[in-house]
Amino acid sequence: MEQTGPFVVHTAADSYTRDLRDPALVPMLGVDDSRLAALASLMGAPARRKDPDVSGALVVAPAGSAATAVGRALADRFGGSFVTLSTGGLGRILDARLEATQVVFVALHDEIDLDMVTESLEVVSAYRHDGRHATIGFVIGPDLPELSWLLAKGLSCHLRKPPERSRLTVVPWLRQQAAASGIPASDGADAAPEWVIGDRASRAVLEPMLSEQYTGLVSFASAGREHALILSDTVICGDHAGHRAPSAQGAAAPSCAFSDRCFRDGVRARDVIKAARVQADIVFANSCMAWRPGTGLVAAEYQLAGAFQYGIPAAYIGAVHQMLPNLTINDLVGTAVAAGTDAGRTCAAVNDHLRDSGRELPYFAVLGLPWVTAGGGSEPPPTTDAGPSVDAHEGVRDVKPQLLRLGRTVRALSEFGPTGFMPPDGIVAMEAEILELARTLKRTALGADLAEKAVGPLRRLGSLIADAELSAVADFHEFGKMSHSALNEMWEGILDTSVRPIDDACPYCKGRLAELVARHPVYEQVGRRALICNVCGPTADSPLEPVIGEVVIECPSIWKRPGTVTVDVLMTPAASVSQEITAAGAIHTSGAANFGMTFPDAQRIAIRPGSPARMRVDATLSAEAFTHHEHFVRFVAVAEGLVHYASRPVAVAPAA
């Protein structure tokens, strides 16, 4: 046992938990000297913040957790309660409490999963919605020493010296600063928060600000993934262990595990900014999938959450789900932190805002103790032979139902533009054929020969539709091979959206799904429905009334280069399909054209009522195929004029 400043480093778990009960001590269970020295250098006197408010502390842990003793000791330290989660979970525990509650969820990575996190967030949100105060922070780690490191940072954060900067907000996609009025900062900090936007959000500008200067709150609004935040010319990288491959058996790794190449084009792995070196009290990441309880699509040692935990920040707030960054959230966090609001209450305010707006799931979470505060200001915040088949003889006997069906298909194709898709060719020609058929029906009522007049326009219309569907799929196919965007990114900026968690499970990772429903603000019949997995991203994206029901992509989860991988897509026809239809479909991986992978062109698929259809392609991986943990297999099909889409993640690794 040795002591550095307020920190007491232990080598035995028993003595560590004993000292954890003592409010005068900040114990750790083993830590390397360099990290301890970096943390100790931030300690200052007199303390710049008041003691944290730990009232209503409730510590919970999964049954049988290796962190149970730590949880009990933490509860004893603050005169709080410790409860083991069992049947009924956190909801049952909170229902029995009348007072305001600050929940601390302690566990090791292999004892908690994303569903447990989102369920806990939903319980706390419902508790707050009932008018009772509750916040939650997750104190988790790969092992007890790292868990103790996170606790030590939280227990000592109020003892840190004043920061060099109150706040830093980084928004690479923002070209003009539209917010950030000056808020007074504490002594020793800049007089106003600083914004770094657009092209200034570069390595040259940000690396010294993040890694060499100490900031109260660092707030990001950027595109990203669970392992990186994307800046203008580099990334904030989650790799904090320096491995050349994932340590966990079967876990995937990003490109930098196999080469000096970052997943971002043109960036070398040695030219990234390491998240583990960011000097801050609190880090807020308004970015997709920026928070993971252990391994997700990528191994834990490459994740942003793990990197910020490994480093200096006492608390990290991030989204566990796929979402679109909204700068309003960064403003909300900034003003809350400037008023001295702790991480738990700040995160709860963000989730309350998201829940009330209905645009995003309220799935931001705190990694760390919920009562951690950041150094900052004191001003209070303001309150051809396919397509829809046309049988000439059937058409003669009953043209009207076929014409209505073809008319629905043409209308669906005409709605590409309002949905955000590239409009297909030939709409004017299709409408001309429909006009001719309508005139034919009118003449038939006056005694004209229907057989003679209808067959030609029906055939021409069917051919035009088939060509338009195949051409549309080819456009989606080519765009997808160049882009990393999922289909929902094309329409989310246009349609009014609402999202809710549902009980269905992801077909790939078995995690919980969310349903995102969207409708056009002007054209009421235009809408989409997507199923989103917090780990795998959008797994399905379909019209509100699809003709293709469930779609499952079957393929290995890890592809080896060089080589060939067979991808099967199984399609179940919707219950509304009563006759054979023909879809145009294509399969590719996101950005395949830049990553050394090739796929066949779009093809036609026959879909029969009550019988699953299959599309199979062979993907070819060159010897230079991009080794990375996060490629997405995309399937897109157009049937009856309607766009259907499915996606799943895969990894590419070198052949053994």
Q: Are residues 265 and 359 in the same domain?
A: yes
User: What pLDDT score does 189 carry?
Assistant: 44
Considering the domain architecture, whether residues 116 and 144 belong to the same structural domain is answered as yes
Listed residue (299, 238, 246) closest to 272, CA to CA: 238
Integer distance in angstroms from the first to the last C-alpha of the chain?
Answer: 44
Specify the 3-state DSSP secondary structure of 385.
Answer: coil
Question: Measured between alpha carbons, how far is 27 from 3 in angstroms, rounded to an integer?
Answer: 9
pLDDT of residue 644: 98
Return the beta strands (E) in 109-214 as ranges: 134-141, 165-171, 194-197
Q: 181 burial class (0-12, 13-18, 19+ CB within 10 angstroms)?
A: exposed
If you count them, how many residues does the chain have? 656
Domain with 125 in it: what CATH number?
A: 3.40.50.1460
Q: Which of 124, 341, 67 is nearest to 216 (CA)?
A: 341
- Spatial separation of the C-alpha atoms in residues 289 and 224, rounded to whole Å: 8
pLDDT < 50 positions in the chain? 178-192, 377-397, 445-449, 451
User: Distance between CA 638 and CA 605 in Å, rounded?
Assistant: 10
CATH number at residue 581: 2.60.40.10
Task: State residue 294 phi and psi, 5-degree precision.
Answer: 95, -155
Token pair for 187 = 């002594």
Rounded to whole angstroms, how far apart are CA atoms 220 and 231? 10
Neighbours of 24 (CB within 10 A): 6
pLDDT value at position 234? 95
Do residues 202 and 333 both lie within one domain? Answer: yes
Q: Locate tokens 């979402």: which residue? A: 323
Give the end of a domain, one of 457, 477, 497: 477
How much is the pLDDT for 55?
81
Domain of 244 in residue numbering reads as 1-383
Residue with tokens 């051809």: 384
Q: Which residues share a beta bridge with 140? A: 107
Instruction: Select from 246, 202, 209 the least CA-distant residue to 227.
Output: 246
d(CA 367, CA 309): 8
**270: three-class secondary structure by DSSP:** helix
Are residues 548 and 519 located together in one domain of the fold?
A: yes
Domain boundary, last residue among 351, 383, 415: 383
Position 283 scores a pLDDT of 97
Q: What is the DSSP string of 198-223?
A: GGGSSHHHHHHHHHTS-EEEEEEE--
42 and 60 housed in the same domain: yes
Q: Which residues of 481-506 are buried (b: 16+ CB within 10 A; e: fewer)?
A: beebebbbebbbebbebebebeeeeb
* β-strand partners of 144: none
Whether residues 609 and 625 share a domain: the answer is yes
Strands of 382-477, DSSP E:
none
Q: What does the pLDDT read at residue 392? A: 37
Residues 431 and 341 in one domain: no
pLDDT of residue 599: 97
Dig out the tokens for 563 from the structure: 């080589």
Q: Which residues pair with 608 in a beta bridge?
A: 611
pLDDT at 361: 85
Q: What single-letter amino acid sits at 245?
A: A
Determine contact, residues 555/567, Cβ cutoff 8 Å.
yes
pLDDT per residue as tens digits for the range 150-199: 999 999 999 998 898 999 999 998 875 544 333 333 334 443 458 999 99
User: CA–CA distance from 445 to each of 352, 390, 438, 594 (Å)?
Assistant: 61, 22, 11, 58
CA distance 46 to 528: 57
Residue 131: the pLDDT is: 62
Whole-number pLDDT of residue 573: 96
How far is the C-alpha of 618 from the C-alpha of 500, rounded, in Å? 36
Where does a domain end: 450, 477, 504? 477
pTM: 0.82
Over the stretch 547-558, which tens digit does the pLDDT of each residue have? 999 999 999 999
Shared domain for 560 and 594, answered yes or no, is yes
Residues 464 and 494 in one domain: no
* Structural domains counted in the chain: 3
- Regarding whether 302 and 156 lie in a shared domain, the answer is yes
- Same domain flag for 472 and 490: no
Residue located via tokens 């991480």: 343
Instruction: Indicate whether 287 and 148 sit together in one domain.
Output: yes
